[in-house]
Amino acid sequence: MRVVFSGNWKTAKLPSVRSCAEELEFHSPSKSIEMDALPEAWDSRFVAFIFALQKLLAENGFLAKLEKFPTELRGLMGLAAKGSDAERRREVSQPQTTTRHAQRFAIGERVQFLGSMVKGILLFCQKKTSVRGTGFGRLLRQAGFESLPIVATVSFLIGTILGFIGSLQLERFGAAIFVADLVAIATVREMAPLMTAVVLAGRVGAAFSATIASMRTRGEIDALSTFGISAMDFLAVPRVVAMAAMTPLLCVISVLVSTGGGMAVAIPMLNVGCLQYVHESAASVKFGAFCFGIGKSVIFALIIAPIACRSGMICERTADGVGRATTRAVVNAITAIIVADALCDAMAARLRI
Amino acid sequence: MGNVESVAAISVDGVSVGHGGLPLLSGVTFSVAAGEILAIVGKSGCGKSTLLRVLVGLDRPMAGAVRVCGMNPAEMLRMGGAMAAKTYGVLFQDCALWTSMTLLENVLLPLRNYSRNGEEEIRNLAKFKLALVGLEGFENAYPHEISGGMAKRAAIARAMALDPPILIFDEPSAGLDPCTAKQIDKLILQIRSICGTAIVLISHELGSIGRLSDRVAFMDVETKSMRPIAKLEEMMVTAAADSALRDFFGDRPTRQAALEGFGHET
Ligand SMILES: Nc1ncnc2c1ncn2[C@@H]1O[C@H](COP(=O)(O)OP(=O)(O)OP(=O)(O)O)[C@@H](O)[C@H]1O
Ligand SMILES: [Mg+2]
């Protein structure tokens, strides 16, 4: 059978390759179809169409003969057909995802990660670590100083909210001054560590994860390993230590700013004196409660940073992978913080702290 | 060089490499002696860079054994890698410079970690290495601020930072103009003759393979295997009878012209 392509193939709407092939197969008496092209105008769309058509026909055992096609067109087709890589590509890319999946959920791998992290942290703190040039100062700044404005803002607002609710309720019982106690105890024990951790998870945890993930994607971590610099010691450990060092400081600042926030609402609303408020606040917070709050903030930091770093270190090597790693870091960290908070509170209740 | 090494710098024995359980190359066997330059050539996508990852221990071979200075590179990395860093330097095809550090810091980082010399001395050393690859004045540039060819050269400087006895380069002259490429070729020859470095060179540039390599290993996509190692001239001669080689090195006149053009300068 002989088919002739004519007309303007540059502007025409192309028919579907599949229906075209089906029609040809239906009408063709033999397995060989001779094709002839006399198009007025054509571009690569036409070549792509013929390429796909020929391939589809070949899959069903039909041979499309293109001898009569213009030479330029056959040249292009020839180049495209030479790409023997396609076959190997198909072979290569199958069994990957399962191994990656298995790897990500292996418990052994997590334990190993934790083990080498603890070891790395101990060495780092004793200044015995073998890696140098980690930019630790910059990390301290990133985790601490640069996070200060957002932590302060959030804390102040939380303080005002607590102060406002407390004032409305306690005023009815004529116990206005106890707003100071309420705000102080609530922030020291709960709100300051929790809000600091949530803000840091979103701000610093996400940054840690994205940095490490994009380094992995670009092969920078491979380059580190060939220089015998482990990603754990060079990237993860300094970040964890920096965060564990800065979070308690931020937490203390958060407590102070929250108290200020509470005071800013309570003083005009309730007619209590400034000094009286401060005195009442200070008296209400026991040393144990203070330590409990600070201790929690350290625990939270030790949850956020390793989760963020690990999420970056296991990310898939694509731009999407980096995005997913960052999301995973923040979501997992915040969930883990809240669970840990509940556990800590339950324990504190038992121990009557 | 004089001293005959009892262990080959690199020895690769019956190695298969691939991704996801399917081999791209199998039965790869070669060894590189100190002071020797081995060129690895083959079509794009035949698995050269995959083989490089195995050579430097980032991936394990699917079969066979790799020894670098008598040691298993994957084990060297697993044991902490200080040994690996002092044994070989790697130039990755995509450079893999550390993007959040300046070029100087890129070269300095290995030195900071392994050199016992003072800060000033290693800084001077790092600046000198950058000057060797023609990047004087770009010490404080970040990798995103330089061109592709400059990144390649910076990565070469980083690979040479610790003066390792083995260098593994993935396409050092890709993306460079002929003039700069020649300079890099000269640098490679000089490193070899000064330090007796063993060099594995993955390259597509026939000219620079001819100028640099002592022997050539050709990886064939079709049979997923390695042709016997030979000098480039010998390989050009065998090419007449071997279609894969002929495809790669070109037909007879091209080969002839290429051969004459090299003019070995050692
Ligand atoms: N991470 C990977 N996962 C799966 N397959 C891969 C991966 N990396 C490379 N491949 C496949 O392995 C084959 C060899 O890739 P490789 O990078 O080793 O080629 P190459 O010889 O270095 O080519 P070039 O000269 O173009 O750099 C390619 O066909 C590619 O599809
Ligand atoms: Mg490659």
Indicate which residue's Cα is closest to atom 5 of ligand 1: B19
How many angstroms separate the alpha carbon of residue A236 from the centre of ligand 2? Answer: 30
Query: Residue B3's pLDDT is what?
Result: 46
In this structure, what token pair is assigned to residue B39?
Answer: 């060129």
The set of long-range contacts for A43-50, using a CB threshold of 8 Å and a minimum separation of 24, is A43/A9, A43/A10, A44/A76, A45/A9, A45/A10, A45/A14, A46/A5, A46/A9, A46/A10, A46/A14, A46/A73, A47/A73, A47/A76, A47/A77, A47/A80, A49/A9, A49/A14, A49/A17, A50/A5, A50/A77
State the pTM of this model.
0.86
Per the CB < 8 Å rule, is B113 touching A130?
Answer: yes
Is a pLDDT exceeding 60 seen at residue B264?
A: no
Per the CB < 8 Å rule, is A227 touching B85?
Answer: yes
Under the banding of pLDDT at 50, 70 and 90, the label for residue B261 is low
Q: State the count of interchain CB pairs (< 8 A) between A and B.
A: 89
Per the CB < 8 Å rule, is B81 touching A99?
Answer: no
How many angstroms separate the alpha carbon of residue B225 from the centre of ligand 2? Answer: 16
Beta strands in chain A (DSSP E): 2-8, 32-41, 63-65
- Quick: pLDDT tens for A171-216: 888 888 889 999 999 999 999 999 999 999 999 999 999 999 999 9
Under the banding of pLDDT at 50, 70 and 90, the label for residue A38 is confident
Would you list the domain boundaries of chain A?
A: 2-69, 129-351
Rounded Cα distance, A224 and A130, in Å: 13
Choice from B41, B48, B202 to test ligand 1 binding pocket (greatest atom count within 8 A of CB): B48
Spatial CA neighbour of B92 closest among B158, B147, B44, B139: B158
Of the candidate ranges A190-194, B16-20, B142-146, the one whose mean pLDDT is the lowest: B16-20
Indicate the average pLDDT of chain B: 88
Number of Cβ within 10 Å of residue B126's Cβ equals 25
Arithmetic mean of pLDDT, A113-127: 89
Arithmetic mean of pLDDT, B194-216: 90
Query: Residue A80's pLDDT is what?
Result: 79
Query: Residue A105's pLDDT is what?
Result: 62
- Quick: pLDDT tens for A254-297: 999 999 999 999 888 888 888 989 999 999 999 999 999 999 99
Per the CB < 8 Å rule, is B112 touching A215?
Answer: no
Is a pLDDT exceeding 80 seen at residue A303?
A: yes
Query: Residue A91's pLDDT is what?
Result: 53
Query: Residue A85's pLDDT is what?
Result: 55
Is a pLDDT exceeding 60 seen at residue A103?
A: no
Under the banding of pLDDT at 50, 70 and 90, the label for residue B266 is very low
Ligand nearest to the CA of A317: 1
ipTM: 0.90
- Quick: pLDDT tens for A312-344: 999 999 999 999 999 999 999 999 999 999 999
Measure Cα distances from B176 to A203, B180, B190 in Å: 41, 6, 19
**Residue A2 three-state SS:** strand
